[in-house]
Amino acid sequence: MNTICAIATPAGMGATAMIRISGSEAFGIAGILFSEKSGFTEQEANRAKLATIYDKINISEQSILDQVVVTKFAAPHSFTGEDVVEISCHGSLYIQHRILELLLSYGCRMAEPGEFTQRAFLNGKLDLPQAEAIADLVEAQSESAHHNAMQQLQGELSNKMAKLRDELMQLASLLELELDFSEEDVEFADRTALYDLLGQIRTEVDKLLQSYQWGTMLKNGIPVAIVGEPNVGKSTLLNALLQRERAIVSDIPGTTRDTIEDTFILHGTLFRFIDTAGIRESGDTIERLGIERSLETIRKAAIVLWIFDSRKTIQEVKTEIANTTRSIGLGDKKLILIGNKTDLASNISEQSETIHYISAKQGENLNSVLTEIERFVEEHNIRDATLLTNARHQSLLKEIRKAIERTEVGLQQQMPTDLVAEDVRVALHHIGELTGSIATDDILNNIFGKFCIGK
C-alpha cells in the first residue's frame, strides 16, 4: 500500500494541528523532514519527542519551518496496523500546508476520506461496525450519543452479531451433516430444538431492529413538538427552555407561520425542540400551510408539549386535544400538558397533578417540565441499551430476519433439508456483510467515503 498523509484536525487555524502519516515508508519519509540532531531515526516507538522541521526545498537557507512534537507508532501497534507518524505542529495554515507539500514531495500521497480507518479495518484492527462507530463518535453531540458510540466502538454490536453467528453456525452444521447422510434418511437435529433456537435468534434481531428508532433519536436529538392554539405562549416557552431569544414573540395570534427548531442538552441527552404554528381554523393560505406542518411535526415527535392558557378548564383542553389529534392520533408519544400564563390568572379553578402549571414569560416552574421531559429517557431505558444508529445495519438485520423467518417456515412445513440450510446460509451471509467479514470494494468505499479526510 502507498504511504498516505493528511491533516487530522479540523480545517482552519488553531493553536495546534496534527498531521498523520501511515504506511510502510512512513518512518523513512517523515525522517527526511527532520534534522539529524532531532534524533527521529533513533526515536523509540510510542514516544513523543520535540523536533525541528526544516523547509528542505530552501536548502541553501536551511530555514526552520516549525518546532513540532512527533510521535512514532510501529506496526502492528498503531491505529491503522501500519507504521504511523503523528506530527503536532503549530496551527498556522501556512505551516500545515507546507508540511503536507513536503511530505507529498518526499513520496506520500494524500489520504482519501476515511482511508486511515479503512486501513485499520483491512488490517484487522477493527471490524466494520467498530469502524463505523468512529464516525458516530466524532459526530457525537451529547453524552448519550457519545456513550452509545463508545459501546459500538468497544464491540457491543459486534459481540451480539458474533453470538448470533455462532448459534446459526451450530444450526447450519447440523443441517449440513444431515445432507451428508441424506441417503440414509437420518436426522441429526431435533426439529423442535432448532425451531426454539430460531425463535431466540429472531427475538434478539427484533430487539436490535426496534432499537433503531431510539438510536437515531439519541444521535440526532429526541424530537419534542411544542403544540397549542395561537397566542398561548409556545414561542415564549421555547425561548425560556433554550434561555435565549430563538423565536419571535408577539401578542398577535398566528405570528409563527412555520416550524422553528433548536436543540438543547438535558442531563447528557440531546433534545430537538420544535415550535409550531398555532392550531386553529384559518382562512389564511400561508397560516394553513403552517398548521399542516404543525400536524406533521406531531406525527414525527416522540414527545408532545401541549401548551394552553391556564385559565381554560381541563375539559376544554381535552376537547381541544381530541379535535386536533383525531386525524393523526398520538400513539405511544409522551404527552405533557402545560398550563401557561399563571402570572395572568388570579386563580386556577381546576388543577390536576398531570398538568404542569407555568409562567413561561416569568420562567416559573419550568423545572417540572424539564423533569417530565427527562423522564421519557428513563421510561424507555435507552441510555444503557445497545442501540442501532446506522441505516446499513438496520437494512441487513431486516434481511437476516427474513431469512430466519423462511427457515422457521421451512422447519414447520418439513421442507427438504437443503432448502432449509440455504436460508440459514443466507442469514449467515448477511451477518458477514454487517460485520465486514464479507465486503466488496464498493461497499467499503461507500462507507469510508463518508468519513472526513484524516480519519
Q: What is the pLDDT of residues 30-71, one digit of tens each?
A: 988 887 777 788 888 888 999 988 887 655 456 889 999 999
Instruction: Please tell me whether residues 283 and 168 are part of one structural domain.
Output: no
Instruction: Please tell me whether residues 240 and 195 are part of one structural domain.
Output: no
Gap between the Cα atoms of 43 and 57, Å rounded? 24
pLDDT band at 285; cut points 50, 70, 90: low
Q: Which of 84-93, 99-108, 359-368 has the lowest mean pLDDT?
A: 359-368
Give every strand in the sheet of 109-110, ordered side by side: 48-54, 64-73, 84-90, 16-22, 4-7, 109-110
- Final residue of a domain: which of 107, 126, 145? 126
Q: Which of 24-33, 345-354, 385-394 has the lowest mean pLDDT?
A: 345-354
Highest mean pLDDT among 323-337, 360-374, 410-424: 360-374
**Rounded average pLDDT over 319-338:** 80
Does residue 228 have a pLDDT over 90?
no
Is residue 133 domain-resident? Answer: no
Residue 95's closest CA among 58, 59, 60, 55?
Answer: 55
- Final residue of a domain: which of 361, 380, 399? 380
**Rounded average pLDDT over 313-325:** 82
Instruction: Please tell me whether residues 250 and 368 are part of one structural domain.
Output: yes
Instruction: Please tell me whether residues 40 and 179 are part of one structural domain.
Output: no
pLDDT band at 81; cut points 50, 70, 90: very high
Gap between the Cα atoms of 291 and 281, Å rounded? 9
Q: Strand 16-22 vs strand 222-227: parallel, antiparallel, or unpaired?
A: unpaired
Instruction: Please tell me whether residues 168 and 261 are part of one structural domain.
Output: no
Domain that holds residue 228: 221-380
The answer to whether 431 and 161 are in contact (CB under 8 A) is yes
pLDDT band at 121; cut points 50, 70, 90: very high
**Rounded average pLDDT over 354-374:** 88
Does residue 162 have a pLDDT over 90?
yes
Is residue 17 domain-resident? Answer: yes
pLDDT at 248: 46
The answer to whether 224 and 274 are in contact (CB under 8 A) is yes
Instruction: Please tell me whether residues 208 and 229 are part of one structural domain.
Output: no
**Rounded average pLDDT over 252-274:** 75
Average pLDDT, the chain: 84
pLDDT at 291: 63
Q: Strand 109-110 vs strand 4-7: parallel, antiparallel, or unpaired?
A: parallel
Q: In the chain, how many domains are there?
A: 3
pLDDT at 186: 52
Percentage, residues of the chain above pLDDT 90: 37
C-alpha cell at 287: 397560516
Q: Tens of pLDDT along 1-14? A: 799 999 999 887 88
> 180: exposed, middle or buried (C-beta count within 10 Å: 0-12, 13-18, 19+)?
exposed
C-alpha cell at 430: 448477511
SS3 label, residue 17: strand
Instruction: Please tell me whether residues 82 and 166 are part of one structural domain.
Output: no
Is residue 117 domain-resident? Answer: yes
List % helix, strand, coil for the chain (3-state, nearest 5).
50, 15, 35
Residues 6 or more apart whose CB falls under 8 angstroms from that of 413 comprise none
Residue 279's closest CA among 263, 300, 294?
Answer: 294
Does residue 255 have a pLDDT over 60?
no
Q: Which of 58-67, 175-184, 298-307, 333-342 has the lowest mean pLDDT?
A: 175-184
pLDDT at 400: 95
Instruction: Please tell me whether residues 17 and 114 are part of one structural domain.
Output: yes
Is residue 149 domain-resident? Answer: no
pLDDT at 115: 94
In order of 52, 146, 148, 215, the CA distances from 219 in angstroms are: 42, 9, 9, 6
Instruction: Please tell me whether residues 370 and 227 are part of one structural domain.
Output: yes
Gap between the Cα atoms of 340 and 173, Å rounded? 65
Instruction: Please tell me whether residues 166 and 45 are part of one structural domain.
Output: no
Does residue 92 have a pLDDT over 50?
yes
Highest mean pLDDT among 260-264, 275-279, 389-393: 389-393
Torsion of CA 365, 368, 370, 373, to 10 degrees: -140
pLDDT band at 250; cut points 50, 70, 90: very low
Q: H helices then E strands: how many in the chain?
A: 14, 12
Percentage, residues of the chain above pLDDT 70: 87
